[in-house]
Structure 1
Amino acid sequence: MTYQIRPSTSKGRVPFSDGETWYRITGDLSSGITPLVLAHGGPGATHQYLLSLTALASSRPVIHYDQIGCGNSTHLQDAEPSYWTVDLFLEELDNLLDQLGIADDYHLLGQSWGGMLAAEHAVRRPAGLKRLVISNSPASMPLWIEAAESLRAQLPAEVEATLREHEDAETTDSPEYAAAMKVFYDKHVCRVVPNPPEVAAAFGSIEADPTVYHTMNGPSEFHVVGSLKDWTIVDRLPEIAVPTLVLSGAYDEAQPVCVAPYAEQIPGARWEVFAESSHLPNVEEPQRYVEVVEAFLRGE
């Protein structure tokens, strides 16, 4: 793992809904070069674990942002569960694009939940979207759950027993559950152990305020009981009309069963698998990840 996080050129906030969306720009938006917007995962994580992608700013402006309820954006811990919807985050993305003056010309890379959000954005055929990268994302949460069950079956029996015990008892906030979760995460979420500081910070932000993550996903990556549990975009993927790159890792919790619909249903989509990575190839194989994304954004 070798990469450097480039310093930001500017940071700011834009009003949205009941708060503000925080953003970070690396590069010059006035350069005339199509910028790349990055949508982070969770839902409920932060931009931090995607900071390795500031490496792409050598060729174009790169925009990170924290989704509302997350990181440096406004936290709304008292919001009703019904507040946290896919449409909310789509509206936030549209608002950010408008406020930054780039709605007519941008690329979009979404990672994990961010890729789900990016696909939802793309099926609406926004005029300014030029290229789309869907990284380590399921096209269907039922398929994601199916993949998780398959991976859990490969865990040591005592680890899986601990997970089941606490899920059944609804004691997923216990230290024992957290320890068993880590066994899965070290295999299928980030194989760089200990995690890089920016990855640890993103996970820490979910622990500090789990409002969005618990409401929409659940207590862990593989125990999905939140409002997204039935989400799917499979039948709408043929509506995406921009060049699309699909990325995943060989050890990814986003197994082929839940990633394949993107490659199969989006016209002309390319699918690249990172042989040494799980869910975060941007930190597990950072140089190759940047090379693959950069080549795609250049149209190669």
Structure 2
Amino acid sequence: MPVTTEGTVPFRGYRTWYRVIGPLPTPGAIPPLLVLHGGPGMPHDYLEDLAALAASGSRTVVFYDQLGCGRSDRPDDRLLWRMSTFVDEIATVRDALGLERIHLLGHSWGGWLALEYVLGRAPGVIGLVLASTCASLPAFAAETRRLKNSLPADVQDVIDRHEAAGTTEDPAYLEAAMAYYTRWICRKVPFPDHVMRSFTAVNEELYGTMQGPEWNVTGNLKDWDATARLAELDLPVLVTSGRHDEMTPALVQPMVDGIPGAEWVVFEESAHFAMVEEPELYRQVLEGFLDLAEAAER
């Protein structure tokens, strides 16, 4: 079993929690995989299947809970909940852990964050994995509303009434939302324990401030769109999505088309959580890409 190290990194007067699966990188070592979880406001637990990459002991995997999530501190300060905070946090975690050369994987919101970080000319990123994500929040909002509108009318009515009333913690709303989640988020039902840990620990204030529900994006990310900047990416990029993903081809295809040389793999039995729904195949695809990215660097 690979060694596991946990700790916290000081960040803006608070603490960001991390977990390193495998040895801390040394100069000349195989670059680790740094994982950016989704949300915003959802802890990393649901991505724990990716730790299997470290099973052989050759590649280190680094998880952390973004500020406001999971085991990290949860400040009561809405002014922190913006893209720039979390871009800065990546750099802080890398510096603290000595992650000079990395592969970066961003899932969902983590993919938006990864794009913003890499497009800012972040050094030492030799491979980028954009997992079940897209490059445009306006397009995402429109597409997920379309998906919601394909649900039975009574389910839509419950969702719409509770969102209008601001009662999204009502059990009826949560039950209706599950009709969406089990179709386009995770088709492995009941949800595995590590997925449920993430779903039940979402920081709703953070999520609402930055995004809001998939089909009603009202937060400060609502106008974020990196589509016009994608051609600036000059590193190996793997894009992954599920056949039944809320990140539909209408969202993913423009991102793939905009990134020079991007590879796109669709997981046929998955929705939004392919690394949970098809873990072994996802690991094989990911390992193959990371190896190729490293070979291209040499």
Q: Same fold by TM-score, threshold 0.5 exceeded? A: yes
TM range (shorter): over 0.9
The answer to whether the 8 Å contact 1:56/1:290 transfers is yes
TM-score by length of 2: 0.93
Write the distance in 1 (CA, Å) between the matches of 2:36 and 2:187: 22
Alpha-carbon distance in 1 for matches of 2:79, 2:103: 30
TM-score (norm 1): 0.93
Q: How far 1:127 sits from its partner (Å)? A: 2.2
- The aligned residue for residue 253 of structure 1 is 246
Cα deviation 1:110-158 (Å, max 9, x = unaligned): 0000011111111122220000000001211111111112211221111
Q: Shift of residue 170 of structure 1?
A: 2.5
Paired amino acid for 1:142: P
User: 1:152 & 1:210 partners in 2: Cα distance?
Assistant: 20
SS of match in other structure, 1:299: helix
1:280 and 2:273 equivalent?
A: yes
Residue in structure 1 matched with residue 296 of structure 2 by the alignment: none
1:136 to 129, 132, 137: 132
* Aligned with residue 206 of structure 2, among 191, 202, 212: 212
Residue in 2 that maps onto 1:56: 53
Alpha-carbon separation, structure 2, partners of 1:193 and 1:222: 22
Give, as a single letter, the amino acid of the residue that structure 1 aligns with 2:59: R
Deviation at 1:221, TM superposition (A): 2.8
Structure 2: gaps spanning 5 or more residues: 294-298
From the superposition, tell whether residues 46 and 8 of structure 1 become closer, same or farther in structure 2 (CA, over 3 Å).
farther
1:14 Cα shift? 0.7
Matches within 5 A, 1:38-49: 38-49=35-46
Match of 2:64 in 1: 65
- 1:85-124 matches, cutoff 5 A: 85-102=82-99, 104-124=100-120
Q: In structure 1, give the amino acid aligned to 2:268.
A: A
Q: Give, as a single letter, the amino acid of the residue that structure 2 aligns with 1:193.
A: V
Distance, in Å, in 2 between the alignment partners of 1:164 and 1:36 is 39
Identity, % of aligned pairs?
44
Residue in 1 that maps onto 2:215: 222
Q: CA deviation at 1:272?
A: 0.8
CA contact (8 A) 2:3 2:21 kept: yes
Deviates most, 261-270 or 6-15: 6-15
Q: Please report the RMSD computed on the Cα atoms of aligned residues, expressed in angstroms.
A: 1.4
Between the aligned partners of 1:224 and 1:87, the Cα distance in structure 2 is: 19
Change (3 A) 1:39 1:8: farther
Amino acid in the other structure paired with 1:65: Y
Unaligned runs of 5+ in 1: 1-5
The alignment covers a number of residue pairs equal to 289
